[in-house]
Structure 1
């Protein structure tokens, strides 16, 4: 039996196996050549008709049809009493008998109820639990491309991890258990095929604090959901390790003596920081909590930067800041709701017909409404995830370029937005100040000052981030080089091998 490390991320996920000497990265996405990463998003869809509505909804519709039939019966009876001609009375009498037959023909009423419900139903109206139980699943690039091609055929869960610590109803919890179980089962199958042996154990990375306002209650809920999902996926043993500590385990192999390290892990969804004592002689220990001097974490990941970049650079080209005829601005909540790809209730509301009608009405009372038409296209064609993804691509391109032209032709032909590094820095200012504050909190909590620093995670590759941290806050500390995209998962695999 093999044990694997799973970095279940906000934006991307990764699986690594460690044999005690070398790491083997499991290929997860067949559509991306030589890549060990896969998008964490899931597209749940229907190729043909939507599923039959739940029994309770069907029965409610049956009752509604029976009430309508009852009204028809009463009307036919009144026609019978008012009729003077026996032949006319006979017609009404036969009509009453026919309606009574319809009233008591439950199978026919149920079929009619289902027809009516399906006629007007859209995927967005299905509950998350029903979607998980009845829909088809597509992962990685396959899922994202299906979503771009047919967004009305399903629902894209942009980042399942971001919901795990939120205030969820029981049915929503079970929906996420089922959804993530399907992902973990897929990861397990890929690992078993490539390792050519059964996989029974997993060490899964976790942020210091999952997204949400429920603190330890939210953390406990997230771990419970992930544990249930892993068990359902077929893992006999599962444990969790905080992501910055996992990254520390990977660099520990290169150290020569006892060293106090500050690990700053800036991922897609969270920023997690730990100050930890590392030493070669402690490498084989399973429990290292006594070596952890301080740990802090918050929802301050790259996705927040993506959304901020949308609001600062793209949204003004889509109507943000325009004035209506009464002098008031177009509601800025339109644009924050458009970006809410990690908030299912908010995004569902944004895609609703009522919301589209509200934007259309605002369009009619707005000065120079041409720009706002672009927002209406995003709303009607459900393009929010694509817009945020475009901002992510722009952010990554600006890591190596001073300026880019971002094509948004899926919104409007020839719609291009110029973005430069000055604009990117401006959009990241508030976020960076919060990251610095989190680092300061960790340093203040630690009983020892760090001797070295390791900055890892996808956002650590941004020159803006490096400049703000290494040249300002952490100036003077030796910077340990690492694989920003793989350090966490490689550390998780090391812990898995110990188990």
Structure 2
């Protein structure tokens, strides 16, 4: 049995083809979208959970070392790892929001893939995170279908991480492939996410067209320029129809982070001065909200940095603001702040203003945001996305007949207007913002594994 698996930055979803129709498979009660989140008592729980509760062995000797260390730490802390210690999706988010200080929480581990400069031990740990989430999805799918699933097409962005180039892509796909094998998938294929979304749009066409697929997801944005239509449907070799691809590691998360940094951090002291007249270091305000940058997050949440924050508070001209950074650090609240920025982004896509409320446990901050302020905050990510679209068109040396937009952030009126400015005379259409990639992956799985 073959499935298409969208292991997304924001959500995971799975579908298969039944009688030539796409059937999306519920992953949590009746919900077909499972947030890409995980929570546990501590970081070490994940590796021991895989081995002890799911009987999933480490991939190599480095993984074995990570497992031994995890078991040792958990034993020293008196933690007897059980199956219900690891939570996924909305359950994981609810636990984190209820008690962020004492819950280990990971959001969007896919956004870490491709990061360069990490040690092998760190990469092995990331693979365990991916493995745990994939195992949960596979279990839910097989429970729904009452059948084992061995064949899978997994979606991937054109580029996982901008700084590492193809080296990052090889590392990221390798981690995904290894994790998929460990959870029991036997035949594994990958497909670019915008190409998969294009396959879903192609199923609706009655005439051949050249289509620019723009997929703006949670962690990446991708374009594929594709010849598609009845002449191409169902063909296993699509090489001649794929005209160009472009992609960058900018997506919905980056828009949320930009809003949090530019519009929220002034209430934490961004732009203020120390008593010496020197500005408070910008890195403190960026690192705390850069939830898709593992190095920035590591630097912010060290004990040494907490000491620096306390010193900055003592020597600040506006200590009441800088003190909020310490609250954020102590409560591990970076994800909460960015989550509120995401809610503001969604609301301001439909209305002119929105009041954000930041609960810092020891303080509450309210901010009134206007739509034009959000547009200003996300102007740089939007500029990068428009440049990516121009690049795909130039590489393909062909004007598209239509632009097909997909991905959660493709709903943004600001992004749609930006794309219209690049291709003013081209029709822009959209299908399922969240489901087209999954549907297209299932269509490609049906072709691949016939």
Q: Secondary structure at the match of 1:28?
A: coil
Consecutive unaligned residues of structure 2, counting only runs of 5 or more, are 49-71
CA distance in 1, matches of 2:398, 2:46: 59
Structure 1 range deviating more: 158-167 or 387-396: 158-167
Cα shift at 1:152 = 4.0
3-state secondary structure, aligned to 1:269: coil
- Does 2:145 align with 1:195? yes
Q: Map residues 365-404 of structure 1 onto 2, 5 A cutoff.
A: 365-404=315-354
**How many Å separate the matches in 2 of 1:39 and 1:305?**
18
State the distance in 1 between where 2:257 and 2:43 align.
Answer: 31
Is 1:149 aligned to 2:102, yes or no? no
Task: Indicate the SS of the match to 2:115.
Answer: coil
Alpha carbons of 1:387 and 1:24: their partners in 2 closer, same or farther (altered >3 Å)? same
Q: 1:273 aligns with which of 219, 223, 231?
A: 223
Tell me the equivalent position of 1:289. Answer: 239
Residue 245 (structure 1) aligns with: 195
2:36 to 31, 34, 40: 40
- Once the two structures are TM-superposed, the CA of residue 50 in structure 1 deviates from its matched residue by 12
Distance 1:447 1:171, change over 3 A: same
- RMSD value, Cα: 2.7
**How many equivalent residue pairs?**
423
Q: Please show how residues 392-471 of structure 1 align to structure 2 within 5 Å.
A: 392-470=342-420
Matching residue of 1:163: 112
Q: Which stretch shows the higher mean deviation, 197-206 or 406-415?
A: 406-415
Q: Distance in 2 between matches of 1:397 and 1:442?
A: 31
Distance in structure 2 (CA, Å) of the matches to 1:210 and 1:448: 26
How much does 1:343 deviate?
2.7
Contact 1:47 1:153 in 2 (8 A): no
Q: 2:314 aligns with which of 352, 358, 364?
A: 364
1:328 to 278, 281, 285: 278
Structure number with larger C-alpha Rg: 1
Tell me the residue number matched to 2:422: 473
Structure 2 CA distance for partners of 1:342 and 1:397, relative to 1, 3 Å: same
The alpha carbon displacement at 1:5 in A equals: 0.8
CA distance in 1, matches of 2:45, 2:179: 28
Which residue pairs with 2:69 in the alignment? Answer: none
What is the TM-score with the length of structure 2 in the denominator? Answer: 0.88
CA contact (8 A) 1:44 1:154 kept: yes
TM-score by length of 1: 0.80
Question: 1:135, CA displacement in angstroms?
Answer: 10
In 2, are the aligned partners of 1:20 and 1:494 still within 8 Å (CA)? no
Match of 1:216 in 2: 166
**Are 2:38 and 1:14 aligned?**
no
Distance 1:467 1:280 in 2: 30
Aligned-pair distance for 1:347? 1.5
1:325 aligned counterpart, secondary structure: coil
